[in-house]
Amino acid sequence: MDERTVREQLVAAAQFLKNHGLLFRGEHANLSQRLDEDRIVMTRGGSIGQLTVEDLAVVGLSGRVLSEGAMDPTMQEVIDMHTRIYRARKSVGAVIHAHSPHLTAFAVAGKALPLVYEPLLRFGLTEPVPVVPWAPRGSQESVDAIVAWVEGHSGIWAVLMANHGPLVFHEDILSAARLLATLDEAAELVWKAQALGGAQPLPEAAVDAVRARMALFGSRR
Ligand SMILES: [Zn+2]
């Protein structure tokens, strides 16, 4: 994929997040997508409500900014959080951090999101979305804890940073944006299901059954 297309897809994803209510009032978020084996394209600033193709920078997976023009200091802080996920899992093509309201409530409550909503299985999730203990955003302690989940659990495609919000990663930026939308939906449903007696677990065999149907019908989600 050429750089122009990657930039346009990131802008389209930012628009998708905004249109679907996945940015909270501050519109704070950071997004990136893989350009090739060694480079990603990443947002430069902290608010993505009005993102344009110019508001993006090329960053090496070593963490070095390769584009002209400075990154906003708040972004410099989170480069590691993105690049180390790509390095930890080669199949990751995009990373999104946004304060989507329902999922962020789970992060603030320190509650893992249980895997009880079938559409999530279509994204390859096989485990609850875990909570990573609080440490300052982008700090080595925080990023090490996130990467430990990414490396150790192939069925995990999102984590919740305690007292902060979600971090989602997937094969490309639109599938990552859709995954965030589906996770936020799941968080809202689990919360509402509390009033109805609580969410019920999926049957043990659900993951395998959904995989079999995906193979049969060729549709991922
Ligand atoms: Zn944040």
Q: How far is the CA of 134 from the centre of ligand 1 (A)?
A: 12
Q: How far is the CA of 83 from the centre of ligand 1 (A)?
A: 16
Residue 163: what are its φ and ψ, rounded to 5°?
60, 20
Half-sphere exposure of 174 (CA within 13 A, CB side): 7
Q: Which fold has domain 3-217?
A: L-fuculose-1-phosphate Aldolase (3.40.225)
Q: How far is the CA of 165 from the centre of ligand 1 (A)?
A: 6
- Per DSSP, the three-state class of 170 is strand
| Number of H-type helices and E-type strands within the chain | 7, 7
Q: How far is the CA of 173 from the centre of ligand 1 (A)?
A: 18
Determine the length of the chain.
221
Q: Which amino acid is at 139?
A: S
Q: How far is the CA of 30 from the centre of ligand 1 (A)?
A: 8
Q: How far is the CA of 209 from the centre of ligand 1 (A)?
A: 35
CA distance 169 to 88: 11
Q: Of 10, 14, 17, nearest to 56 (Cα)?
A: 10
Residue 74: what are its φ and ψ, rounded to 5°?
-65, -25
Q: How far is the CA of 171 from the centre of ligand 1 (A)?
A: 21
Q: How far is CA 111 from the centre of its chain?
A: 17
Q: Which amino acid is at 21?
A: G
In this structure, of 10-14, 67-71, 117-121, 217-221, the range with the lowest mean pLDDT score is 217-221
pLDDT bin (cut points 50, 70, 90) of residue 146 is very high
Q: Of 62, 53, 122, nearest to 86 (Cα)?
A: 62
Q: Of 58, 56, 71, 75, nearest to 12 (Cα)?
A: 56
What is the side-by-side order of every strand in the sheet holding 29-34? Answer: 56-60, 39-43, 29-34, 94-98, 165-170, 158-161, 131-132
Q: How far is the CA of 98 from the centre of ligand 1 (A)?
A: 6
- Sign of the C-alpha dihedral, residues 34, 105, 126, 138? positive
- The predicted model gives 121-149 an average pLDDT of 95
Site of tokens 């990443």: 42
Q: How far is the CA of 58 from the centre of ligand 1 (A)?
A: 21
Q: Of 100, 58, 98, nearest to 79 (Cα)?
A: 58
Whether residue 139 has pLDDT greater than 90: yes
Q: What per-residue confidence (pLDDT) applies to 165?
A: 97
Per-residue model confidence as pLDDT tens digits over 198-212: 999 999 899 889 888
Whether residue 220 has pLDDT greater than 80: no
User: Which contiguous run of DSSP H or E holds residue 192?
Assistant: helix 173-193
Per-residue model confidence as pLDDT tens digits over 157-167: 999 999 999 99
CA distance 147 to 67: 26
Per-residue model confidence as pLDDT tens digits over 165-204: 999 999 999 999 999 999 999 999 999 999 999 999 999 8
CA distance 169 to 150: 10
